[in-house]
């Protein structure tokens, strides 16, 4: 009796664990919300390449994808960023007036390998108790804002990255408002990212926010030339460029405000492969041309020179 009961208990526990940690595959036209719920906490949702017309999960808040508190530890993995739906996972919010691409309300989350287009508010919104969230290899193109980091938890210690919301190898380009907004008590890390051509501030940090930026390129647009600091904005091994003739090129032209610290910054044209005010946003190419100062402006974990920006040298 005791042995049979132990075996039954083991089977039940194993079944429960499997149900909460599933890997679920989705493609264009599938119910993404249902797939996320099926994967559950610590599960994984794998998105096939293709063009996805996101629909709001709720007509009142208009989030495209919402990760609620019970979904801790979940991973959402796309096929990679890009603008070719045969190889990239592209999430488009235009047709259904989606406000936010990813609303993140939980912890230990990984989002990897997406292009996010046409969100009416922002591509990403880590919110409330979001903690230890890593967003990597993602592009925000033609969204009103790239990210709105709103009151997220964290200690603000770059030596303990699990305490931070982390954006790695991400591109924030060609939007109607700010490249990113950070407010409340949020603690954020941007590493090897690109900020390009925003209509308002390139980066706006307010309230008691702590933002660390590493190996990142800031390229002003026709209207965007401000980096606004909150409690602390620390920029290390970054490249700064303002192409407008009326402004001073580089760091001075980007008008840093607030409590901003710049360490080992480089002022100069990053020499992207294909950018410009006349370049269609789906044709922008943020690889680096030969001779770019960004090719050696960054530093790796050992302190050796590496590239700044998300993509590295053109092949």
pLDDT tens per residue across span 36-90: 999 999 999 999 999 999 999 988 889 999 999 999 999 999 999 999 999 999 9
Distance CA 41, CA 154 (A): 21
Class of domain 22-306 as given by CATH: mainly beta
What integer pLDDT is reported at residue 246 of this predicted model?
55
pLDDT tens per residue across span 117-176: 999 999 999 998 898 999 999 999 999 999 998 877 776 777 777 778 999 999 999 988
Name the CA dihedral angle for 207, 210, 215, 217, rounded to a multiple of 10 degrees: 0
Where do the domains of the chain lie? 22-306
What Å distances lie between residue 304 and 103, 226, 295, 296, 307, CA to CA? 36, 29, 12, 9, 10
Distance CA 83, CA 73 (A): 28
Q: How many CB atoms lie within 10 A of CB 304?
A: 9
The number of angstroms, rounded, from the C-alpha of 95 to the middle of its chain's C-alpha atoms is 22
In this predicted structure, the answer to whether residue 9 has a pLDDT above a threshold of 60 is: no
**Residues 238 and 262: beta-carbon distance below 8 Å:** yes
**What does DSSP assign to residue 64?**
E
Q: Which of 99, 87, 13 is nearest to 56 (CA)?
A: 99
The model's pTM: 0.90
Burial of 299 (0-12, 13-18, 19+ CB in 10 A): middle
Q: Which two three-digit tokens encode residue 93?
A: 């919010």
Distance CA 108, CA 42 (A): 9
Distance CA 89, CA 113 (A): 7
């Amino acid at each position: 009796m005791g042995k049979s009961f132990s075996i039954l208990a083991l089977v039940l526990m194993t079944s429960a664990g499997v149900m909460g940690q599933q890997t679920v595959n989705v493609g264009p036209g599938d119910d993404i919300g249902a797939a996320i719920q099926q994967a559950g906490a610590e599960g994984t949702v794998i998105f096939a390449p293709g063009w996805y017309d996101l629909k709001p999960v709720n007509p009142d808040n208009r989030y495209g994808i919402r990760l609620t508190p019970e979904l801790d530890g979940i991973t959402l993995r796309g096929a990679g960023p890009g603008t070719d739906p045969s190889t990239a996972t592209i999430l488009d919010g235009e047709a259904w007036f989606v406000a936010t691409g990813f609303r993140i309300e939980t912890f230990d989350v990984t989002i990897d390998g997406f292009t996010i287009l046409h969100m009416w508010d922002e591509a990403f919104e880590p919110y409330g108790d979001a903690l230890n969230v890593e967003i990597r290899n993602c592009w925000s193109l033609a969204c009103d804002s790239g990210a709105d980091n709103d009151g997220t938890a964290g200690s603000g210690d770059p030596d303990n990255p699990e305490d931070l919301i982390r954006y790695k190898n991400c591109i924030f380009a060609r939007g109607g408002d700010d490249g990113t907004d950070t407010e409340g008590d949020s603690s954020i890390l941007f590493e090897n990212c690109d900020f390009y051509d925003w209509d308002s501030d390139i980066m706006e940090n307010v309230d008691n926010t702590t933002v660390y930026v590493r190996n990142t390129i800031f390229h002003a647009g026709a209207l965007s030339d401000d980096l606004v600091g909150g409690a602390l904005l620390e920029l290390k091994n970054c490249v700064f460029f303002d192409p407008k003739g009326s402004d001073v090129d580089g760091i001075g032209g980007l008008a840093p405000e607030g409590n901003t610290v710049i360490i080992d910054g480089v002022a100069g044209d990053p020499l992207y492969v294909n950018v410009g005010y006349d370049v269609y946003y789906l044709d922008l190419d943020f690889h680096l041309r030969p001779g770019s100062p960004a090719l050696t402006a960054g530093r790796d974990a050992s302190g050796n020179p590496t590239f700044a920006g998300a993509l590295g040298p053109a092949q």
